[in-house]
Amino acid sequence: MNVAEVTTNGDYQATFHLKRPQPSFLALLATGWSPIYPCHVGPRGMRSHPIGTGPFKFVEFQPNERIVVTRNPDYWKKDRPYLDGIEYTIIKDVSTRLLSFIAGKDEIYFGVTIPQLKDVEKGAPQAICEVVTANVARNLIVNRDAPPFDNLDLRRAMSLSLDRKAFIDILTEGQGDIGGVMQPPPSGLWGMPPDLLKTLPGYDPDVQRSRAQARTLMENLGYGPDKHLAVTISTRNLAPYRDPAVILIDQLKEIYMDGVLDPVDTTNWYPKVMRKEYTVGMNITETAVDDPDPAFYENYVCGGMRNYTGYCNPEVDKMVDAQSAESDVGKRKQMVWAIEKKLADDDARPIIFYNRAATCWQPQVKGLTLMVNSIYNGNRFEDLWLDR
């Protein structure tokens, strides 16, 4: 935490006092992950009836059915928002969700998969769709405190087993991106260039060569064709998690690992991984904005809130602090890429791929702006309106 204190000057001015320079602070403060909570409402109240100063006010939440918000007449932009309200329909099944949009029951559909995009084009040709590479990475998490996964060579073998291109070809029909911790270019500003990325452990395009190295490591640990390692692959029980988990199980067979899928309900998934009550998992990591600070501090520094693997390297922590204080973008990139290399060398949390997906909307929807730096930064919808 880099904020030493916050002081106020009247009702409309707040000053954040930082412990050290942090050029990204204003960007972080502006993201969808930086809400400012009212002091007079406790966490329980905010969960059941959240309040704030946004363009819309909470009306109701019906679990597994809908979330309803209404226009905030006291919003600080006097002529916004344009809409009277928004109803978010909760449909867990992706096929049912698709059919609902095609039937015209919904006006915006976020997260249209590449295979589904063809169905939208056929069933709702009037719809407008835009494909982006969001700042969302599928990644392999390994509980490094749980034997035998506390062994460095075992974790390296798992990293070397990954065929990232196969994940992309199967799940997104070839429309995905291979990257490291930071969102890959051109969508991402801080991602490593492809020629540098290929030099990291597990990123060699020659997958068979990497897997041969992985099998040697496993054989040195006593595993082989006649002795496989049984492993449970835990993941959130949603299609974007389950589908890559199934592919991961298939790929681990190449290095003498027999995996079984453990689908975990969403309400239990995050408590489970935060308590490290798993051995191996397929995870999806979203980031507040395309900046190294939230990516590194949340997921990789010692004791980070979303450091689900228990990775801890004081040397890396110092490197993260140093890049955070650097104001020169060129110098900071070099520092970030050095951290990326160290994380890959340590098999901290192998990034598998970045998904491409579409947002589709009916032609009467106007003023929609999509973000590529985070899936959370374009949801104010203050400029959204309907032409009907």
For residue 26, pLDDT over 90 is answered with yes
pLDDT tens profile 30-89: 888 888 778 888 888 888 899 988 999 999 999 889 999 999 999 999 999 999 999 999
Question: Domain count of the chain?
Answer: 1
Span 329-348, mean pLDDT? Answer: 97
Instruction: Report yes or no on 387 lying in a domain.
Output: no
What sections of 198-238 are H helices per DSSP?
Answer: 207-220
108 by Cβ neighbours in 10 Å (0-12 / 13-18 / 19+) ranks as middle
CATH of the domain at 246: 3.10.105.10
Which residue from 37, 16, 38 is spatially nearest to 25, judged by alpha carbons?
16
Tokens of 37: 């909570």
Residue environment code for 329-362, b if the CB has 16+ CB neighbours within 10 A, otherwise e:
eeebbebbbebbbebbebbbbbbbbbbbbbbbbb
Instruction: Report yes or no on 53 lying in a domain.
Output: no
Instruction: Report yes or no on 211 lying in a domain.
Output: yes
Instruction: Report yes or no on 205 lying in a domain.
Output: yes
For residue 126, pLDDT over 90 is answered with yes
pLDDT tens profile 260-274: 999 999 999 999 999
Q: How confident is the model at residue 388 (pLDDT cuts 50, 70, 90)?
A: confident
Instruction: Report yes or no on 36 lying in a domain.
Output: no
Span 351-372, mean pLDDT? Answer: 94
For residue 1, pLDDT over 80 is answered with no
For residue 282, pLDDT over 80 is answered with yes
pLDDT of residue 376: 84
Instruction: Report yes or no on 33 lying in a domain.
Output: no
Span 205-212, mean pLDDT? Answer: 97
Q: How confident is the model at residue 367 (pLDDT cuts 50, 70, 90)?
A: very high
| 64 phi/psi in degrees, rounded to 5 | 65, 15
Q: How confident is the model at residue 93 (pLDDT cuts 50, 70, 90)?
A: confident
Span 117-138, mean pLDDT? Answer: 94
Which residue from 305, 308, 241 is spatially nearest to 276, judged by alpha carbons?
308
Q: Give me the amino acid identity at 355.
A: N
Lowest-pLDDT range of 122-126, 130-134, 345-349, 360-364: 130-134
Q: How confident is the model at residue 172 (pLDDT cuts 50, 70, 90)?
A: very high
pLDDT tens profile 227-276: 999 999 999 999 999 999 999 999 999 999 999 999 999 999 999 999 99
CA distance 49 to 37: 12
pLDDT of residue 12: 87
Span 129-149, mean pLDDT? Answer: 94
Tokens of 31: 């993201």
Instruction: Report yes or no on 72 lying in a domain.
Output: no
Global pTM?
Answer: 0.92
pLDDT of residue 382: 95
CA distance 141 to 270: 13
Residue numbers of the domain that contains 226: 136-355
Q: What is the CA radius of gyration of the chain?
A: 22
Q: Give me the amino acid identity at 77.
A: K
How many residues would you count in the chain? 388
For residue 134, pLDDT over 90 is answered with no
Q: How confident is the model at residue 333 (pLDDT cuts 50, 70, 90)?
A: very high
Instruction: Report yes or no on 108 lying in a domain.
Output: no
Which residue from 239, 356, 278, 291 is spatially nearest to 33, judged by alpha carbons?
291
Q: How confident is the model at residue 108 (pLDDT cuts 50, 70, 90)?
A: very high
For residue 189, pLDDT over 80 is answered with yes
